[in-house]
Amino acid sequence: MRNPLSSAPVVDFHRVHLKYENGPNVLKNIQFSLERGSFHFVTGDSGAGKTSLLSLMYLDQRPTAGRIHLFGQNLSEVKRTQMPKLRRRIGVVFQDFRLIDSLDTFDNVALPLRIDGMKETEIQKRVNELLAWVGLEKCVHAYPESLSGGEKQRIAIARAVINAPDLLLADEPTGNVDDAMANRILHLFLELNKMGTTLVIATHNHGLIRQFKKPQLHLSNGVLECLPAPFEAPSEIVSNAPEFLGGNHDFEF
């Protein structure tokens, strides 16, 4: 999946415009590149176009104009049959979670691995490990309707990271959890980032932005401005995240 020698940006937008049918331009002349292993926050007021920007990255829609390269591939030239492979390299945490009501916690989280064709024994191991880490080991067989907003959010995050994606896109991933859990989740993201996962997190949480000191893609009325990291990023970050995500189990988080 990953090609460490690849020097092409993971995401590269070139003069991208997005307009919904009969609507105004949601995104205007967007241009930026995200290198492998980078970590960016997407900021901006409500309706600024944060979710639309992410949706272009997770291949939910095509730009009205402009060119998008993902993992070095020009999306306008990628065949439809090759799209699923690209999608499997992207993990998405949706603002509205998008959990499948007819599946329990375990099966919701296991879905990306099953789509990828992983063996059931490995799925069991990975999912149980990750669910324990996000504090949902008691909800393994619970269905979404019986869970709180925070629990649903953690399931959505677990599902997005379970296959250690190359690109992780998260839309307000800490909106429904307390500060301690938000911190824990961000550390999981940092673990993934340390392994080479490119992170893009849309958030309103200025506390997180200040704490993690990462560059921002700031949107205002559909226009993007790249803001550098306010301060130098913290040095080595370790946590007890699951081993398959690169966690250090000796560290008590």
Partner 1 sequence: MILNSKSRLPVREHASLFLSWMTMLMVFIAVLSLVGLMALTNLIDSWNRSISGSLTIQIPTYTIQGDSRGDAVQQDIDRTIDLLRQTPGVEDVTVLDETQMSDLMEPWLGASEKITDLPLPALLDVSLDDSQPFDFVAFKNQMQEAVPAAQVDSHRVWLSHLIETARAIQNMIAFILFLLILTTSFTVIYTTSSSLALQAPVIKLLHMMGARDTIIAFQYAFFNFLKALGGGVVGFVLALPIIWIASTLFNPVQDPLFDAARLSADQIYIVLAIPLMAALFAFVAAFLTILKTLGRLV
Rounded Cα–Cα distance for residues 85 and 141 (Å): 29
Chain-centre distance for alpha carbon 93: 5
Q: Which positions lie near partner 1, rule CB under 8 A?
A: 58-62, 81, 83-88, 90, 92, 98, 100-103, 107, 110-112, 114-117, 120
Place of tokens 């909106």: 175
Residue (83 or 132) nearer to partner 1, CB: 83
Q: What's the min distance (Å) between Cβ of 13 and partner 1? A: 16
Q: Which two tokens stand for residue 3?
A: 């090609």
The minimum distance between CB 81 and partner 1, in angstroms, equals: 8
Q: Rounded to 5 degrees, what angle do the CA atoms 77, 64, 204 make?
A: 105
Q: Least Å distance between CB 59 and partner 1?
A: 6
SS3 87: helix
- Smallest gap, in angstroms, from Cβ of residue 227 to partner 1? 29
Kindly tell me which of 8 and 118 has the beta carbon lying closer to partner 1: 118
Min dist. Cβ of residue 84 to partner 1 (A): 4
Question: In whole angstroms, how close is the CB of 55 to partner 1 at the nearest point?
Answer: 9
CB nearer to partner 1: pick between 83 and 226: 83
If the CB atoms of residues 30 and 182 are measured against partner 1, the closer one turns out to be 30
Query: Where on the phi/psi map is residue 169: left (φ > 0), alpha (ψ -120 to 50), or beta?
Result: beta
Tell me how far, at minimum, the Cβ of 235 lies from partner 1, in Å.
Answer: 34
Strand residues in the chain grouped as ranges (E): 11-19, 25-34, 39-44, 65-70, 73-74, 90-93, 167-171, 198-202, 216-220, 223-227
- Could you give the CA distance from residue 195 to residue 164 in angstroms, rounded to a whole number? 9
Of 100 and 132, the one with the shorter C-beta distance to partner 1 is: 100
Task: Identify the burial level of 244 via C-beta atoms within 10 angstroms of its C-beta, where 0-12 means exposed, 13-18 middle and 19 or more buried.
Answer: middle
Single out the residue of 183, 151, 156 nearest to residue 169, CA to CA.
Answer: 156
Nearer to partner 1, 16 or 182 (CB): 16
> Among residues 115 and 233, whose Cβ is nearest to partner 1?
115
Strands (E) in 85-222, as ranges, are: 90-93, 167-171, 198-202, 216-220
Residue bearing tokens 């063996």: 119
